[in-house]
Amino acid sequence: MSNLTSMSMFLLWEFSERRELQFLHFFVFLALYLTTMTGNVLIIVAVALDHHLHTPMYFFVTNLAMMDIGSVSVIMPKSISNSIMNNRSISYSGCVAQVFFYFFFAASNIAILTIMAHDRYVAICNPLQYETIMHRGACIQMAVTVWISSLFYSVLHTCGTFANTFCSHAVNQFFCEIPTLLKLSCSDLYVIEFGFLLLGCIIGLGCFIFIIITYVQIFSAVLRIPSMHGQKKALSTCVPHLTVVSVFMFSAVVANARPPTYASSGLDIVFAVIYAVIPPMANPFIYSMRNKDIKIALWKLLDFGHSPKTILRIL
């Protein structure tokens, strides 16, 4: 195959050549995108407008919602527009931007979930020093550290991927996914990026192990609380975060369960949707259904005709 290093574009995976199926793809992806955007925007606005939610836990929930919005906005609008325009192309610079920003938001997501586990540990296992440890300055510092480290991580992967020369411009995925791009490489530099991916997997696994160890300590502390009401109250603040982490871990396992020689593009799309779209879409629903404070804030935001007492009776 001829060397296409100087290519100006890539061709993304085509859902179907039939126009009616392209419209189906358009409406399905548009519905997923709008659902994700609406849920996460509502969470951000509800937290911002309710002063009762101006706490470290909800500060990080807001950060998580922003990262979810960013991750889906990087990959889905291009796929949606290509379907309606009957087009497969994405510019070379557009593909670089997708890789860079997707990895930035994905890495930030994992780091924020890890910090949220630490926040719950301090709140339950060391409540007397919670305000001293998790003060506003410390929370902002942790968030900035996440953004800077994720930026560096994203630059590393982007440079590692596009340092390669490509022998084809046909990407068998609905966005510029690094493993799919590396299959197009016709240089030995792809080994470097595989090394970066392995390093990322080790770091991600380390974060999940930290979360698991943290929750073992949290559950041990909860069991020592004498009253059943106190135990339930403590666990109620952990269940949404633990559910979000479980969904994230499940999607990561599904994404990495694909055999390396998998040939079906259709099933590759399904796997990609599971790990790239489902978690950001599910997170706001998990927090709104499992967290009473978020429920009240959303009711206040969406239904101005009810008083707080009426809202509490409804909930």
pLDDT digits (tens, 9 = 90+) for 218-242: 999 998 888 888 888 888 888 889 9
Residue ranges per structural domain of the chain: 9-314
The CATH homologous superfamily for domain 9-314 is Rhodopsin 7-helix transmembrane proteins (1.20.1070.10)
Q: What pLDDT, in 10s, does the model give residues 71-110?
A: 999 999 999 998 888 888 999 999 999 999 999 999 999 9
Predicted TM-score (pTM) above 0.95: no
Tokens read off for 169:
């411009």
For the CA atoms of 163, 168, 171, 177, the dihedral, rounded to the nearest 10 degrees, stands at: -20
More confident residue, 180 or 40: 40
| Closest to 45 in 3D by CA, of 302, 280, 303, 281 | 302
Question: Cβ distance 117 to 214 under 8 Å?
Answer: yes
Nearest by Cα to 248 from 75, 71, 79, 120: 71
| % of the chain with per-residue pLDDT over 90 | 43
Q: For residue range 175-221, what is the model confidence (pLDDT) as tens digits?
A: 998 888 888 888 777 788 788 888 888 888 899 999 999 999 999 99
